Amino acid sequence: MDAASFILFGATGDLAKRKIFPALYNLYLDQKLPAQFTVFGLGRRQWDDHIFKANVAQSIHSFSRKKVEDPAQLEKFLESFQFCILDANKQEDYVKLRTMIETREQQLGAAPNRMFYLSVGPEFFEMIAEHIDQSGLGSESGWKRFVIEKPFGHDLQSARQLNRKLNETFKEEEIFRIDHYLGKPMVQRLEVLQQKNPVLQALWTNRYIANIQITANETVGVEERSGYYDKTGAVRDMFQNHMLQLLMMLTAHFPNNSTTEAVRFKKKMVMEAVQPLHPHQVSNQVIRGQYNSGSINGEPVTSYREEPGIANDSMNDTFIAAKLEIDDYFWRGVPFYIRTGKRLKEKSTRIVIEFKEPIKQSTGADIPVPNLLVFEIAPDESIFFQLNARDPIYKEQIKPLFLDFQVDSKDLPEAYENLIHDAWHGDATFFAHWDEVELSWKWVQPILDAFAANTVPLHLYEAGSFGPKQSDELLNKDGFHWWFDE
C-alpha cells in the first residue's frame, strides 16, 4: 500500500478520540495501514507531540475494540503521530503545516500522498478546502483525498453550493463523503448477499415482497449536541443520509462483481426511481414526532423541550416515519416504511422484509405469520429468516421457526475502520457519491419545507416508547404493522 500522510483536522475533538484513533490502531494491529504512514493531528490547542501522543494513547485505552496487549507495539504506533497547532482560518498555519509534512515525507523518502480528514463542523469544509488549495498542500505529485463527514449541506440548495465550492479544489473522485452507516459490516454484506445468492435474487422483487421496514431507533436523546441538533432534526441528521443509504444498499440490484462505479450507478438509479413526494402528500406519508418525558430502561428522562439548550417551544423533529415507493420494474407496489428517532424504547437498527402469502390463495389455508427476512444491523449483527413449521409436540399447530445467523460485534471491524481503510486504498464504493447526496436532499426537501411551514403536525411521544402512535397508523392503514415493537 502507498505510504501516505493522514492529515486530521479536529484532532483534539470527540470523534477523533472515540472513533478515529481507535480505528487507526485496529487497522495497524491488523497490518492494514501502509508500512510508512504519518498522522498529523491538527487543532488550535497549544499541544505538542508529547501531549498529542498521550491523548491518542488514552483514547485507544478507552475506546479501542482490540485491547492493548503489547505496550511496546502501541509506542511504535505512536511514533507516527505528530501535532501541528493550526487555526483553520489562518493561511500561514497551512504553510507551516506544509513544511512539516514535506520534512517528514523527505525523511521517509515517501511520495506526497495526502489524505485530508475533516473531523470538524461542516461550516469549515469550504474554508479548509480553499486553504489547502492556496497553500499548495494539495498540489503535489502524489494523490490527494478529501474525507468529510455528513452533514453535506443543510438542504438541497446549500448542499449544491457546498459541492460546487469543494469542486473548485477537489475532483469528485477525490472527495470521500463518509456516511458511517455504509461502513457497518452488515450494510457492507448486503451487496454480496444479494449478488451471490440466487435464492435471494429470485425473491428480491414485488412479486414476493409485501413490504419493507427500515428502522433506526435510538435510546439516547439530544446529548450534548443541542446547538447542532435543534437546527438539524431527525430528517437531516439520520433520514436524508443513513436511512436513504440503507434503502439504496438494500434495493439496488447490483451486477456480479460490481465495480465502485456500478454500485454507485445502481444506487443512483434507485434514488431516481423513488416516487417524489408532492407537498400535499407529506402529511399523509410522513409522521413528525418529538419526545416528551418518560423513562428509558427504568430511568426517568426529560422531554426534548426541557433539555439544556433547547427552546421550550422548539418544533424540532426527533422522530420521523415515512412511507415511500420505488417506481421501477422490481419494486413498484411495494411500500417501504422508514423510521428513526431518539429516546425510543431500544437501540435497534434493522431491516425487515415481509413476504407475501401466495400459499393462502392456492390452498385456502391460513398461515400463522408471514415469512420474514430480517437484517439486524445494531446493536448486534444477525440475519434471520422466519419460516413456518409444524410444532413437534403439538402437531396440529404451526409455529414460526427461525434460521438464525449471529455474529459477536466485538469480532467485527467498526464502521470507521472499514471506511478509513477504504479511503486509504482509494476505494470509494462505500462512500456517498454526490449524485446520491443530491437526490436524497431532493427527496426530503418537501418534508423540510412542510416541517418549516408547520403544515405537518408535530406529535409528542413518550420517551421509552416506539414513537408516536401515528407511526403505527401509517402501516395499519395498509394492513401492516411494525415488526418487533414489543
| x/- map, 352-381, ligand BG6, by CB under 6 A | --------------------------x---
Q: Is 207 labelled a binding residue? A: no
**Sole binder of ligand BG6 in the list 217, 226, 318, 349 (CB under 6 A):** 349
Which ranges of 185-285 does DSSP label H, i.e. alpha helix? 185-196, 198-203, 226-234, 244-251, 260-273, 282-285
Q: Which is nearer to ligand BG6, 93 or 237 (CB)?
A: 237
Is residue 374 within 8 Å of 384, Cβ to Cβ?
A: yes
Q: What is the dihedral of CA 4, 49, 9, 307, to 10 degrees?
A: 140
Q: Is 317 in the site for ligand BG6 (CB under 6 A)?
A: no
Q: 234-270 b/e with 16+ CB inside 10 Å = b? A: bbbbbbbbbbbbbbbbbbbbbeeebebeebbbbbbbb
Q: Is 317 labelled a binding residue? A: no
3 state SS of 305: helix
Helix axes 260-273, 244-251, angle to 10 degrees: 110
In the complex, least distance from residue 405 CB atom to ligand BG6, rounded to whole angstroms: 21
In the complex, least distance from residue 20 CB atom to ligand BG6, rounded to whole angstroms: 14
Q: Which is nearer to ligand BG6, 187 or 209 (CB)?
A: 187
Specify the residue for cell string 491518542: 56
CA distance 48 to 338: 47
Q: Is 409 in the site for ligand BG6 (CB under 6 A)?
A: no
Q: Is 290 in the site for ligand BG6 (CB under 6 A)?
A: no
**163 Cβ neighbours under 8 A, 6+ residues apart:** 152, 153, 434, 437, 438
Q: Is 436 in the site for ligand BG6 (CB under 6 A)?
A: no
Cβ burial of 300 (10 Å; 0-12, 13-18, 19+) is: exposed
CA distance 437 to 484: 30
If binding means CB under 6 A, how many residues of this protein chain bind ligand BG6?
5
Q: Which three cell numbers stand for residue 48?
A: 505538542
Q: Which three cell numbers stand for residue 356?
A: 407475501
Task: Specify the pairing of strand 299-301 against strand 381-390.
Answer: unpaired
CA distance 197 to 200: 5
Q: Is 307 in the site for ligand BG6 (CB under 6 A)?
A: no
Q: Which is nearer to ligand BG6, 315 or 378 (CB)?
A: 378
- Closest-CA residue to 244 (of 356, 316, 153, 324): 324
Q: Is 218 in the site for ligand BG6 (CB under 6 A)?
A: yes
Q: Which is nearer to ligand BG6, 108 or 378 (CB)?
A: 378
Q: Which is nearer to ligand BG6, 238 or 450 (CB)?
A: 238
In the complex, least distance from residue 317 CB atom to ligand BG6, rounded to whole angstroms: 12
Q: Is 218 labelled a binding residue? A: yes
**Active-site annotation holder among 242, 421, 433, 459:** 242
Q: Is 311 labelled a binding residue? A: no
Q: Which is nearer to ligand BG6, 237 or 307 (CB)?
A: 237
Q: Is 347 labelled a binding residue? A: yes
* DSSP structural state of residue 119: -
Q: Is 44 labelled a binding residue? A: yes
Q: Is 5 in the site for ligand BG6 (CB under 6 A)?
A: no
481 is catalytic: no
Q: Is 440 in the site for ligand BG6 (CB under 6 A)?
A: no
**Sole binder of ligand BG6 in the list 93, 105, 230, 237 (CB under 6 A):** 237
Q: Which is nearer to ligand BG6, 3 or 351 (CB)?
A: 351
In the complex, least distance from residue 484 CB atom to ligand BG6, rounded to whole angstroms: 17
Q: Is 398 in the site for ligand BG6 (CB under 6 A)?
A: no
Q: Is 168 labelled a binding residue? A: no
Q: Which residue is nearest to ligand BG6 (CB)?
A: 237
End-to-end CA distance of the chain: 48
Q: Which three cell numbers stand for residue 27?
A: 487497522
Instruction: Report long-range pairs for 332-336 (Cβ below 8 Å, ≥24 apart).
Output: 332/206, 333/206, 334/206, 334/209, 334/210, 334/211, 334/212, 335/211, 335/212, 335/478, 335/480, 336/211, 336/212, 336/213, 336/214, 336/247
Q: Is 414 in the site for ligand BG6 (CB under 6 A)?
A: no
Q: Is 53 labelled a binding residue? A: no
Q: Is 438 in the site for ligand BG6 (CB under 6 A)?
A: no
Q: Is 230 in the site for ligand BG6 (CB under 6 A)?
A: no
Site for ligand BG6 in 188-217 (CB under 6 A): 216
Q: Which is nearer to ligand BG6, 46 or 297 (CB)?
A: 297
Cβ burial of 34 (10 Å; 0-12, 13-18, 19+) is: middle
Catalog residues that contact ligand BG6 under the rule CB under 6 A: 216, 218, 237, 349, 378
For the annotated binding site for NADP(+), the residues are 10-17, 44, 150
For the annotated binding site for substrate, the residues are 180, 184, 218, 237, 342, 347
Residues acting as catalytic residues: 242
For the annotated binding site, the residues are 10-17, 44, 150, 180, 184, 218, 237, 342, 347
